[in-house]
A and B are shown apart, each in its own frame.
Chain A
Amino acid sequence: DAKTTQPTSMDCAEGRAANLPCNHSTISGNEYVYWYRQIHSQGPQYIIHGLKNNETNEMASLIITEDRKSSTLILPHATLRDTAVYYCIVSREETSGSRLTFGEGTQLTVNP
């Protein structure tokens, strides 16, 4: 699976959009981009995933560049409860049920 690069930490003001970048320049054609987050003292929580097209659900939006070498997770109106470590993971969908490689992620702090 391709490797990902994320900033170590980011800050965001409550109520503003949080844009979390991820670089995955070695992604291959059949690999998906997954985002999870982990709030302190809890297990990782699935947020969203996508292949080529932009995706949106009730939690977030995922924007993938046309060359698929990078993506951005957008939390449109961040709240204090969104403070967490956010993980960007690249994996083939048929193995998403088998092997997810979590790096160190981005610590997002939402400030009042």
Chain B
Amino acid sequence: DVKVTQSSRYLVKRTGEKVFLECVQDMDHENMFWYRQDPGLGLRLIYFSYDVKMKEKGDIPEGYSVSREKKERFSLILESASTNQTSMYLCASSPPDWPQHFGDGTRLSIL
């Protein structure tokens, strides 16, 4: 089975901190994605990556950056966390032209 692992299930940080969310997949998938999920807004795509060192902006990239130095790892970075970035963050991976597989999410609270 595909395993997408997010480093933390719950995380609490303070406004202005730099926050790193880590995601690792074990299936050698080329594609990796970061979404956030908020009540009433569904899942929204933040960034995705087709390959190592490649990244593409999704629908809501503002306030975020990403890093993909190795194929199996995709990191989401909140450069200066703000309270409106309190959310559930979901990572996914997939091979080309095949459905995405998701991790169980990180519930991030910014105080």
Q: Which residues of A contact B (CB under 8 A)?
A: 34, 41-46, 49, 93-94, 96-105
In the complex, the answer to whether A46 meets B99 with C-beta atoms within 8 Å is yes
Residues of the B chain whose Cβ atoms lie less than 8 Å from the Cβ of A99: 45, 48, 58
Residues of the B chain whose Cβ atoms lie less than 8 Å from the Cβ of A100: 43, 45, 100
Residues in B6-62 with C-beta less than 8 Å from chain A: 30-31, 35, 37, 40, 42-43, 45, 48, 50, 56, 58
Q: Could you tell me the distance between the alpha carbons of A41 and B102 in the complex, rounded to whole angstroms?
A: 12
In the complex, the answer to whether B42 meets A96 with C-beta atoms within 8 Å is no
Partner of A96, one of B4, B58, B90, B98: B98
- Would you list 21 pairs from A and B whose C-beta atoms are within 8 A, ordered by A residue? A42-B104, A43-B4, A43-B90, A43-B102, A43-B105, A44-B92, A49-B99, A93-B97, A96-B97, A96-B100, A97-B31, A97-B50, A97-B97, A97-B98, A99-B45, A99-B48, A101-B42, A101-B45, A102-B35, A104-B42, A105-B42
In the complex, the answer to whether B105 meets A42 with C-beta atoms within 8 Å is yes
SS class of chain A's interface: helix, strand, loop or mixed? Answer: loop
Look across to chain B and name the residue whose beta carbon is closest to the beta carbon of A46. Answer: B99
Interface size for B (C-beta < 8 A) is: 27
Ranked nearest first, the 10 interchain pairs of A and B with the lowest CB-CB distance are A43-B102, A102-B43, A46-B99, A97-B31, A102-B42, A97-B94, A44-B102, A43-B104, A43-B103, A42-B104
Look across to chain A and name the residue whose beta carbon is closest to the beta carbon of B41. Answer: A104
Q: Could you tell me the distance between the alpha carbons of A72 and B26 in the complex, rounded to whole angstroms?
A: 33
Look across to chain B and name the residue whose beta carbon is closest to the beta carbon of A100. Answer: B100
In the complex, the answer to whether A97 meets B95 with C-beta atoms within 8 Å is yes
Look across to chain B and name the residue whose beta carbon is closest to the beta carbon of A48. Answer: B99
Residues of the A chain whose Cβ atoms lie less than 8 Å from the Cβ of B50: 97-98
Look across to chain B and name the residue whose beta carbon is closest to the beta carbon of A32. Answer: B99
Q: Could you tell me the distance between the alpha carbons of A62 and B94 in the complex, rounded to whole angstroms?
A: 21
Interface presence of B68 (CB below 8 A): no
Least CB distance from B55 to A in Å reads 12
